[in-house]
Amino acid sequence: MKRVLVVVSVLAVLGVLGTGVYVRVRPTADDDSTSTSAAAAAISAAAAEGFATDVAIPVEGAAVTRDTLVLSVTAAGQAEAWRRTITTAEVAGRVMRLGVRESDAVTQGQMLVSLDTAEYALAVAKAQSALRAAEANFLERTLFDDQITDPQVREQRRRLARSLVGLDAAEVALREAELNLARTRVLAPFDGRVANLKVVEGQRVTAGQELFEVVDSDPVKVEVQVLEGEIGYLAPGRSGSVSFAAFPGESFAGRIETMNPVVDPQTRTARVTILLPNAAGRIRPGMYARVALAAQRFPDRILVPRAAILERDRRTMLFVYQGDERQGLAKWRYVTTGLGNETLVEIVQSEETEMVQPGEIVLVDGHYTLVHDAVVRLAENVLREGGRPQ
């Protein structure tokens, strides 16, 4: 019996001790839990601050316009000089002076090449001598013709005498010799630039040998082949936009100069020639070109840049900017599109979608991943303003 009482007493003491330990340990656990919760809250707050939705995202915008939509006919071609000629030597001789280099600008009548004149000057002197001898013989034969009273007889004797003494032939020979002497000086046929120079000083050339080309590339022309089904939409004087592989991202304004009235039966196309100003000479003959020619015109249309149009959930939409110059919201708006060209798209009325109005600002860059009511700010260049490349 005593042994049982001892065991019960020991268990009671252990119970009291355990309760005390539990009471002391439990507050410490609560303290740790409180610390852990505070740390998690701090991390969440930091994350929220790092990804705060009130930080304005830089975007680019453009105004909605009411204007004429122009649909274009596109074609490929290459630049050609407005005028171009191959200059050849008209007489044989040695090149004594070469006054130009390739790409030099020249003016009409400017001396470009001078050949040795010695033999041609000598030929002129011989022709002059022969002419003087013929004139002396003529005077000798007609010395007393003034005494002939009949003017018809007197004129007939003069013609006969000129033929007999070779006066006519001598005059022709002198003119030919002088012409050959003049041809030793090669002149520019028109204003332009020298191209494909093929001679050097001291070289001997023959009559008909090619010396160089002169090209006039202001304006420059671009010839394109347009399908017969599209020819009817074009007319001389219509505007056109021309881009060149040599100048990516840049376009040049031109106009239709001529249209070939004949359609090629093999290709079913007709040639259209476009003129472009080229005072600086940047566009060079032979450059590859892409041409967009104004064809059909649809006035009084609501237009937005093509870059504004997005597709979400298989529906066409765009973002409209609402706010001031510093900051605003990107408003999601479903729209219905109509006709469009390479740069502009028409927005049309529909019961299932909304419209945009002239003067509203639509987003055209930096907007591809936005959500409705995203906080944005207008920028001139998204990348330069720290936006994401899209």
The pair of structure tokens assigned to 88 is 């050849």
Q: What is the structure's pLDDT at 53?
A: 52
The residues of the chain scoring below 50 in pLDDT are 1-52
Q: Return the CA Rg of the chain.
A: 46
**CA dist., res. 225 & res. 244, Å (int):** 17
Torsion over CA: 164, 166, 171, 172 (sign): positive
Look up residue 179 and give its two tokens: 């012409």
Q: What is the pLDDT of residue 20?
A: 41
* The CATH fold of domain 72-80+215-298: Elongation Factor Tu (Ef-tu); domain 3 (2.40.30)
pLDDT for 141:
80
Predicted TM-score (pTM) of the model is 0.57
Structure tokens of 385?
């303003």
pLDDT at 138: 81
What integer pLDDT is reported at residue 60 of this predicted model?
Answer: 93
pLDDT for res 51: 42
What pLDDT score was predicted for residue 296? Answer: 86
The structure tokens listed for 276 are 């472009």
Q: Is 291 exposed, middle or buried (0-12, 13-18, 19+ CB in 10 A)?
A: buried
Q: What are the structure tokens assigned to 12, written together?
A: 């009671």
What is the pairing mode between strands 239-244 and 288-305? Answer: antiparallel
Distance, CA of 238 to CA of 225 (rounded, Å): 16
CATH code linked to domain 57-68+300-378: 2.40.420.20
Q: Which CATH architecture has domain 88-212?
A: Beta Barrel (2.40)
Domain segments of the chain as ranges: 57-68+300-378, 72-80+215-298, 88-212
